[in-house]
Structure 1
């Protein structure tokens, strides 16, 4: 009998607003199809006008404020950035003690090719003053935040240096097609090294400012709070932590004795992945894995290890990655009150029978 054509689906965490995980164990490519790209929303999806009316405003501390249309932007020199986008709350559900917030597993992460225009190029049309400090990006989505009854648009800022980075782009395509509406069409900011909260969707306005931006998604959320009872020692979430995920075998699999391939992905925010190791004895010793894909800036690497499982029993398999800056996954993640940046060594349990 012919087997049915079974395809993986997104894993729903909440419906209003819509938050869904990529089924990361079943991703085999360096480009996640738009159908399986994770969805992270704070509010309901925005209402947008017809595509012929889409435009982007740039104002604030600039010499020449502009309003530029999608049609005009499409005619300008384009740039492509192949990058991981990872929600800052990815793997939040694994923190101990547990923290409040969306209980993400391992799938609030995806990767693909974004095409757009360099933000630096766009800002050159306006001319910058000498007093600018940050660049604010305001999306079309809005709603009430946890700590306020007022309506807020989702808005975040970047330091001027990061805004002018050559690979910070205003994207309008994903994997060769227009960005899907639910992922930010018509304009999405892409900040490759940072967690995905920085990659603001449905961008409608860009404002250059002379001070630090104090919006709720800048100064209340996306902050590491190391203490449960107070805000002492807090600092902002920015670049991604070095991390890895085991894709195969699946957690709680039952396997026969013999050879098995342990495989997964690893990524980091700064530099390149240089090494991935796995432990088959709960961290007592480590074995270096083979990097199947060439480490490249912003992208995950695929890795694998051939394991000859000769003895029956229950096993805990751990994976840890190291990057070119010397960062290595810790055994225990750095606990913080809002549950950001989880990057403890990944682990699964299996049974050899």
Structure 2
């Protein structure tokens, strides 16, 4: 048997937390189909474009058909994905007239460059001609292309975490390729909060906990409703959002970059949620508890965060200050002193 430092390194069991797939030599495969389907829907649903004539929005993703997988061989990641996507878009003019149409992307594949994607945008039969159709065909198509490019980036960063295992010195060497070595469109979907996803070596994610407090010039009942009412969330985030204001209900806001689930609701007193940024390690959620305290003419909001990745602590704090606290105060006039 080979000793440490001698012989073929493929067969040396290194001093590490697990002794599987030493030096990442053996072929491993991970099915990314279900993850990809959810990711594609989250990136496309609610995507919108706007002009002086009105606004267009992707209101339904009716079909995400295909498959995806990631393979690791000799420390090299190989990506396979092929998707046929169909969606529905709705346009609303400034005059309040609504139009409906369809979107189809038949060839999202590792064999095609992003600029080669076929993005078909059509207007439903019997719908009158509208300038919003041109808006969706041009700016809408480009935004869809950008979102699909983000899917590929997330597949190569978020989903693959843990596939390249750390070696004796704790370093994971990461290489990646695709079936056709296609160039990847580096254009990312615009995000108020997103940053490049951190590379994870497959070990347990170090996390932190912290708390924040702020005061709002309103009642606990009114402030409680702000977090659970979809129209109010869309108002303070200045964009489309999905909010199911009930226990077990899902939420998604800030262009899909923040999402999660309400796990506990005590009317006018407390909200507990599973919460994450889109660029956090796959399936990792923090627990956020909001407590609403009546302070006579004010409401003190206490935010307790647990399970936030260490590397994301400052970004998370800043995000809550800017996109929750300050945005709510400015939108609804609840401005008050900050602790």
- TM-score under structure 2 length normalisation: 0.28
**Structure whose residues are more often helix by fraction:** 2
TM-score (norm 1): 0.27
Higher radius of gyration, 1 or 2:
2
Higher relative contact order (CA 8 A, sep 6+): 1
